[in-house]
Amino acid sequence: MSLWFTHPLFLPSLIVGVTIVLWATSLLPEFITALLFFTAAMTAKIAPPDVIFGGFASSAFWLVFSGFVLGVAIRKTGLADRAARALSAKLTDSWMLMVASVVLLSYALAFVMPSNMGRIALLMPIVAAMAKRAGIADGSRAWFGLALAVGFGTFQLSATILPANVPNLVMSGAAEGSYGIHLNYMPYLLLHTPVLGILKGLILIGLICWLFPGAPKPARDLAPAAPMGRDEKRLAWLLAVVLVMWVTESWHGIGPAWTGLAASIIVMLPRIGFITGEEFSAGVNMRTCIYVAGILGLAITVTHTGIGNAVGEALLRMMPLDAAKPFTSFLALTGITTALNFIMTANGVPALYTTLAQSFSDATGFPLLSVIMIQVLGYSTPLLPYQASPIVVAMGLGKVPAKAGMLLCVALAVATWLVLLPLNYLWFSVLGRL
């Protein structure tokens, strides 16, 4: 037993394990658990400070921050209500139509906007105003369903579009760096969209309508909207510039986080911007920001300490990978990704899994590229909200309780494993990838 306590991974594993359990069970508010992780990790010196607090240096953290700021401005100027007015006139006739429109909008925006966090920041105030016009009250189950539709539609469905999701980019970079494999946009889209995009989107819509029922009221205010005010026009132009910068990132090389941060600074400038210091304090949810920094810091710490490698090698020995049983091997590889999601979260999983892909390929007989692609179903289907920071952000913006997010996570994961995983295997087989 003493060997366990003297093992170099014992203390880091204990701290990471307790943090994950606290997040999974919601015994403490999520941001307090994040602060406890920072405190315990620094006190025990399990990693350098720049690793433990690496989440604050991550572009994802600053996208979350700027998303809150831009959301406050969009709501204050009335731009959110104007967009919601245009949408609610046609999309609030039924609950299924309303949920489907939000999911479809979240997915469609991923084709032109590369940042999950940016899409959530843009959509959430619009959807909130749309819900208000349809008579859906804040804090109601129906509102929780719409907020989760934004988060799940944005994160899970965008995994089928190569540049629209951080884990996808991590996987692409790891595949190129480790094996010289360059992933292409259209083949990737064809491989994943039918099952993990279209079918999963339909299941998501059905689950939200079932678990979070709502009864929207058709918009009765048919009077023409008032002309856009000066602040609305200025903010609309600013958002248009931000959107163009996001879409053209591959040309100019400026990350979405820094474009969003620059826009949020403009929004807050005295006499030029749109929101005051008091409005910033009230509208920017620092609890969620700290929570996201904790998630990202934990993933970086797991990689730095070697916990991820140890778990990955253990899973490689334990899982039934057999070239004579292709479906079992497919199932096992998906299970490995799902297990890694618990300790590394979605952003960190591809970095480790992809480096082990050659070993998995040798054990299963699957082509290396196919082994790399199989992980997408696993990391895009979190079992708990903390495993996907965009879902956490959507829940924070919508003030969705942890239990509601966990309920949809578990329901969609079970449906994915029972229905979509076999269909995904068949689709890989039809395309000759196995």
The most confident of the ranges 47-56, 108-117, 209-218, 419-428 is 419-428
Residue 419, pLDDT above cutoff 80:
yes
Q: What is the 3-state secondary structure (H, E, C) of the chain?
A: CHHHHHCCCHHHHHHHHHHHHHHHHCCCCHHHHHHHHHHHHHHHCCCCHHHHCHHHHCHHHHHHHHHHHHHHHHHHHCHHHHHHHHHHHHHCCCHHHHHHHHHHHHHHHCCCCCCHHHHHHHHHHHHHHHHHHCCCCCCCHHHHHHHHHHHHHHHHHHCCCHHHCHHHHHHHHHHHHHHCCCCCHHHHHHHHHHHHHHHHHHHHHHHHHHHCCCCCCCCCCCCCCCCCCHHHHHHHHHHHHHHHHHHCHHHHCCCHHHHHHHHHHHHHCCCCCCCCHHHHHHHCCHHHHHHHHHHHHHHHHHHHHCHHHHHHHHHHHHCCCCCCCHHHHHHHHHHHHHHHHHHHHHHHHHHHHHHCHHHHHHHHCCCHHHHHHHHHHHHCCCCCHHHCHHHHHHHHHHCCCHHHHHHHHHHHHHHHHHHHHHHHHHHHHHCCCC
**Average of per-residue pLDDT values in the chain:** 83
Residue 38, pLDDT above cutoff 80:
yes
The pLDDT value recorded for residue 205 is 96
The pLDDT value recorded for residue 219 is 62
The pLDDT value recorded for residue 113 is 64
Mean pLDDT of 119-146: 85
pLDDT, one tens digit per residue, over 358-387 is 888 888 889 989 998 999 999 999 998 888
Residue 337, pLDDT above cutoff 60:
yes
Residue 145, pLDDT above cutoff 90:
yes
pLDDT, one tens digit per residue, over 51-109 is 889 888 877 678 778 777 887 887 778 776 676 666 666 666 788 988 998 998 888 87
User: Model's pTM, two decimal places?
Assistant: 0.75
